[in-house]
């Protein structure tokens, strides 16, 4: 392993791994991926992994999610089985007042070409018979689905390693020095230099930014998830709140807690609340055993939208930081590789530049 690279990617979660994969398809370059743990120790190993577009902010962001979902089948053909399933997504509601909101969402999403429908109770129960009869209706989109995040990240990593990308795992970046020609990255295991570097540090992105005296405007939001025992097939769609994996386990959770930092413990308060939510949605889950619970830390930019592009005043330091990174990973990998390699992305991502926050107050 030499210490000089064309591109160094910091972070090998679903985002860093996808960027490395798409870059590795380009003509010969030296790429290094560094991670302080192994590729699933961050948020990508503690996620629901829905590939979900229909409830994202309508407009450009909803469309981005849809385009990413559309890339999944071909990605699966390229890197191997990642248990991607386009199950269709259902977000049920229990309140009559939500009809108006649902109709509005459908109208807005259709402007961006996203197929979302409002279903009444009967239509919803036809699609998903085990849902509670107490629901009033739902929004539905055929584009939504889910993926196995463990397989996804593993297959990205295997694919980019086949394409000669170097890795340095269990190695934390501790300092970064930047000049216009070169970036020097100090790690626990030595110093590396690169022409370009990419921040894909997930919830630790703020910390990476501090190394260059740039404040990355993000909040950290904890989510807790319940894992049931393997059950007979009980739900077939990705529901806003739960999904069933191929091995039969149902993952339940839609909690979000702010001001917790990087604490990834679970609390019984949220776990019990989540279990109740699960039973409210699908009463039959009452009988299921819970095998375990886990928590993950979402990074959420102040305005909720992804941060994609270069760092302020630095042409050769790139950043890709967002929530819903599993949904967005193929598209983000693709457009970031275009930006880094060609100097321009094939779709307009100017609205996601970090410089937009100069105008926003937290």
Partner 1 sequence: MSAYKEKVNFSFNDVRLEAKEGQTVAAALYENDYKKLGTTRKYQRPRGLFCATGRCYSCLLTVNDQNNVLSCMTLVEEGMSVKSNQS
Partner 2 sequence: MDTDLLIIGGGPAGLHAANTVGQYGIRTVIVEESNALGGLLRQQVHYINDLPREFKAQTGQNLSEYFIGNLSDQCTVLLNHIFTGVYKDGRLGIANQETVIPIRAKRVLIATGAAEETMIFPGWTLPGVISVGAGQILHHREGVLPGKKAVILGSSEPALSLSMDLFDKGSDVAIVDGGSEISCGNQQLLDEIVTKNIPIYFEAFNLEALGTDEVEKLVFQQSSGNEKKLETDVVCIGGEYSPILESFEILDCKFTYAEKLGGWLPQYDHTLKTSVNHVFAAGNCAGITSMSGILLTAEIASLNVVHELMNEQIQEQVESLWEELINIEDSSFLPSFHSRKDIIAEAYT
Q: Which of 37, 45, 59, 230 binds partner 1 (CB under 8 A)?
A: 230
Answer yes or no: are the C-beta atoms of 296 and 43 closer than 8 Å. yes
Q: How far apart are CA 12 and CA 16, in angstroms?
A: 5
Structure-block tokens of residue 168: 């340095």
Which segment (96-104, 157-165, 267-275, 294-302) binds ligand FAD by CB under 6 A?
294-302
DSSP secondary-structure letter at 130?
T
Is residue 292 part of the contact set for ligand FAD (CB under 6 A)? yes
For residue 179, the partner it binds in partner 2, partner 1, ligand FAD, none, with Cβ less than 5 to 8 A by kind, is none
In the bound complex, what is the minimum distance in angstroms from residue 283's beta carbon to partner 2?
Answer: 17
Exposure letters 104-126 (e unless 16+ CB within 10 A, then b)? ebbeebeebebebebbebeebbe
Out of 120, 123, 272, 346, point to the residue binding partner 2 (CB under 8 A): 272
Q: Which stretch binds partner 1 (CB under 8 A): 226-234, 253-261, 322-330, 347-355?
A: 226-234
Partner that binds at residue 268, options partner 2, partner 1, ligand FAD, none, CB closer than 5 to 8 Å by kind: partner 2
CB atoms closer than 10 angstroms to residue 49:
27
Smallest separation (angstroms) from partner 2 to the CB of 230: 17
- C-beta of 247 vs 358, nearer to partner 1: 247
Angle at 360 between CA 359 and CA 361, to 5 degrees: 125
Torsion over CA: 212, 218, 303, 185 (sign):
positive
By CB under 6 A, residue 333 contacts ligand FAD: no
Residue 251 binding result from partner 1, ligand FAD, partner 2, none, given CB thresholds of 5 to 8 Å by partner type: ligand FAD
- Looking at residue 104, the DSSP 8-state letter turns out to be H
Q: Is 48 in the site for ligand FAD (CB under 6 A)?
A: yes
> Please, are residues 280 and 134 in contact by the beta-carbon 8 Å criterion?
yes
Pairing of strands 314-321, 190-199: parallel
**Which sign, positive or negative, has the C-alpha torsion 214, 218, 221, 225?**
negative
Positions in 292-311 near partner 2 (CB under 8 A): 293
The interface partner of residue 22, options being partner 1, ligand FAD, partner 2, none and the CB cut-off 5 to 8 Å by kind, is none
Q: Which of 209, 223, 240, 241 binds ligand FAD (CB under 6 A)?
A: 223
Residue 210 contact partner, candidates partner 1, partner 2, ligand FAD, none, CB within 5 to 8 A by sort of partner: none
Residue 266 binds which one of partner 1, ligand FAD, partner 2, none, with CB within 5 to 8 A depending on kind?
Answer: partner 2
Coil/strand/helix, residue 281: helix
Contacts to partner 2 by CB under 8 A: 265-269, 271-272, 293
């Amino acid at each position: 392993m030499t210490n000089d690279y064309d591109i160094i990617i910091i972070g090998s979660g679903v985002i860093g791994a996808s960027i490395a994969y798409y870059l590795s398809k380009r003509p010969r370059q030296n790429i290094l991926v560094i991670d302080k743990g192994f590729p699933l120790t961050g948020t990508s190993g503690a996620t629901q992994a829905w590939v979900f577009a229909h409830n994202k902010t309508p407009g450009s962001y909803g469309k981005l999610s849809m385009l990413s979902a559309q890339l999944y089948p071909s990605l699966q053909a390229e890197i191997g089985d990642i248990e991607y399933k386009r199950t269709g997504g259902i977000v049920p509601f229990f309140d009559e007042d939500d009809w108006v909101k649902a109709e509005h969402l459908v109208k807005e999403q259709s402007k961006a070409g996203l197929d979302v429908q409002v279903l009444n109770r009967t239509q919803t129960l036809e699609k998903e018979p085990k849902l509670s009869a107490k629901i009033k209706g739902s929004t539905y989109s055929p584009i939504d689905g889910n993926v196995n995040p463990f397989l996804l990240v593993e297959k990205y990593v295997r694919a980019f390693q086949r394409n000669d990308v170097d890795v340095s795992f269990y190695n934390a970046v501790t300092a970064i020095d930047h000049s216009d020609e070169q970036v020097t990255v100090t790690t626990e295991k030595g110093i590396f230099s690169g022409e370009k570097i990419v921040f894909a540090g997930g919830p630790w992105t703020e910390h990476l930014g501090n190394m260059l005296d740039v404040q990355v405007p993000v909040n950290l939001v904890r989510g807790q998830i319940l894992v049931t025992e393997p059950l007979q097939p009980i739900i077939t769609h990705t529901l806003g709140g739960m999904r069933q994996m191929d091995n039969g386990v149902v993952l339940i959770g839609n909690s979000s807690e702010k001001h917790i930092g990087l604490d990834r413990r679970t609390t019984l308060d949220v776990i019990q609340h989540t279990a109740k939510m699960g039973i409210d949605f699908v009463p039959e889950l009452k009988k299921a055993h819970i095998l375990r619970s886990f928590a993950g830390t979402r990074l959420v930019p102040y305005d909720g939208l992804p941060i994609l592009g270069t760092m302020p005043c630095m042409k050769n330091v790139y950043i890709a930081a967002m929530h819903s990174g599993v949904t967005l990973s193929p598209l983000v990998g693709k457009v970031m590789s275009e930006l880094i390699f060609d100097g321009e992305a094939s779709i307009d991502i100017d609205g996601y530049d970090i410089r937009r926050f100069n105008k926003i107050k937290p």
